[in-house]
Amino acid sequence: MKKSILLTLSILFCLSLNSQRNANAEYWVSFTYLPKKGMVEEFEKAVADKTAKYNATEEDAIFAFQIMTGGGQGAYQRWVVRKDRAFFDQDNAEELKYWNENVDPYIADKSGQKIWQHIRNASHGWDEPRTPVKYYVQNTVVVKRGKNNDFLKFHRRLKQINSETEYTGNRGVFRLISGGNNQTFMVISGFDSHETVFTNNLSDDKNWRDVYDEKFGETAWEEDWPAYNECH
């Protein structure tokens, strides 16, 4: 019991500190699960049944994805998206009880809850709710302390360029605020076809460095790109 209380207080403390800086912050919550060997189909069906029972509307939707590459290959992520602070006051005891009784028996390993803040002024194409796409690429980095401004400055400037060039793709930037090292950032891009992963709206005679310098000054890329790479 003591452990549960301390965990709850830790989450609330992190959210409280964050909310003092940004009362309108948007939170995304992730969970990672590895099914037991030979029970993938049972796990998927149990998750689908639980989702249909408790997460069938836009307000309470949870999205699930299978990890296809990297060290977590074969595991599944579930995301609760676009929540404000009031979400964490809700009583989900019944839903959690159902999960523990009907889904948990098929799980070999799990990450626990991770709470992310969506950095909206550094993200492009994530402003409004949309139907999930087929694939997502996640890049996770731990930024050195004192280097957050350099990291976010580069992403905010990329957002400006993407907006001005009317880029039809998307890039979401998130910071972990509970459930791990709060210097952890994640950049997510979603797409339906692998042919579109590296596309952009730049003209044939322009590259990212050219456009970046035109927008922010002739030495901007030379200064910002090394500073960004030294962040992590």
- The predicted-structure confidence for 158-200, as pLDDT tens digits, reads as follows 999 999 988 888 999 999 999 999 999 999 999 988 877 777 7
Report residue 5's pLDDT band, with 50, 70 and 90 as the boundaries. very low
C-alpha to C-alpha distance for 147 and 185, rounded to whole angstroms: 12
Task: Kindly give, in sequence order, each residue whose CB lies less than 8 Å from that of residue 228, ignoring residues fewer than 6 positions away.
Answer: 150, 151, 153, 154
Mean pLDDT of the 114-137 span: 90
Owner of token pair 């060290």: 71
pLDDT at residue 81 in the model: 94
Q: At what angle do helices 40-54 and 93-102 cross, to 10 degrees?
A: 160
* Domains delineated in the chain: 1-116 (3.30.70.100), 119-232 (3.30.70)
The tens digit of pLDDT for each residue in 59-75 reads: 899 999 999 999 899 99
Owner of token pair 């969506």: 118
pLDDT at residue 21 in the model: 57
Report residue 1's pLDDT band, with 50, 70 and 90 as the boundaries. very low
- At 73, the amino acid letter reads Q
Number of CB atoms found within 10 A of residue 4's CB: 8
C-alpha to C-alpha distance for 90 and 76, rounded to whole angstroms: 25
Mean pLDDT of the 139-147 span: 96
